[in-house]
Structure 1
Amino acid sequence: MIMSKRTPEEIIQSVERYQRGETSQGAEAKRLGVSQQTFQDWIRKHETFGIDGFEHTGHRNYPRELKKSAVNAYLSGEGSQAAICKKYGISSRTQLQNWIKMYNGHKELRPSRGRGSDIYMTKGRTTTYEERIEIVSYCIEHGNDYTATIEKYGVSYQQIYSWVRKYNEKGAEGLVDKRGKRKAESEMTEVEKLRAENRMLEARNRRLETENAVLKKLKELERRWR
């Protein structure tokens, strides 16, 4: 994504005009002298990082686990490159494409080094079962948005990824910490388990409602600019 010919302010204003429904992607891309794909990347960056995404000039830090998760998600058909970038807080499709090439070339995906956002380096913390239920519910409701979840709850990427994976494999019971002194958690009643599962289902339903609303809005915009 080349940004040298346009100031961050110009790009942000253009993206926000599109988001308000005042113009189309094609019109703004043409006005700025960039490809529509580049403009789409800017839209996604704005949605993921806000205005800070355009002020950052250095390289972002990405842990090895995030790289593997993003590549595996794309290769398993969980979404387009743009969708995967948004989901995992990756700054550009070019970055994801490079990781995919490395993966296909059987090269090791190493943690990124350099300046920039280090949100994925957030350290883990001790949590209760109720907190894990809330955190996973939030993550699921927001389309597995790890960036937003880390910012909101101050836990590590590794923790969130592990909890979501355990929930997908075992349900709410997978979030029970059965180590050592965590006896109370391992003795959950059936009612408590059902309540936890119900909370997760509500989160999934809200996510689907949001996705349907977004799709409806996109269709309206497409009809408007045909």
Structure 2
Amino acid sequence: MEKQGRSYSLEQKLYAITQFKRSGQSLTAFAKVLGIHRLVLEKWVGIEQTEGIKALEPSHGWKQYSQATKNAAIHDRLVNKLSLLDIVKKYQISSDSVLRGWLNQYTNGKEIKATSTGQSHMKQGRTTSYQERIEIVQYALAHEQDYQTTATHFKVSYQQVYTWVRKYQKNGSNALQDRRGKRLNREPEELSETERLKLRVKELEERNDFLETREELSKKLWEIQRRHQ
């Protein structure tokens, strides 16, 4: 079963695409063999065909979208009933989660504006707690390090998300503590034992999900490779 937040390397994506093309099977059938959702495989194939291999690499930059592009994408979804994947391909949107964000804004009556460049609308960021920073990092990792979507979701700056994720990946959750001045080492102590355990469980679940995903897909891809040798 497909799990939210699975992360795949460029090598895995390319091998999956290559074997799918050789298999002669339908997207649905081959995706089932790999143990991934059909839409995931369809997206990889579509990106490789229309934008090339380079576009399959994870992109952490801030992509600009005009107000007209956003409105056209929303119109195609709500009026023309195009699929999320078709719209993402048509307008070269970085991910379907970005498109969902626009749709949510529109259906909630919020004004759709052009995307600013380089960072989120929260340019200066905001103050966050230790627990919030861990949750934000976990969300970013679960969404393949989509910093833009994460920043918008939590109303923090793009730079904050990027920095926290890099710190977390390098040194773990302890690196997310606020170590300025008198606050050194105080935040973890302000959390209750239950809160600390919950955060630890979240960390382990996130890590286990990533490792299981990578191992499962790698095994399936190697099995397919052996069958075609």
TM-score strictly above 0.5: no
Structure 1 length-normalised TM: 0.43
- Structure of greater relative contact order (alpha carbons < 8 Å, 6+ residues apart): 2
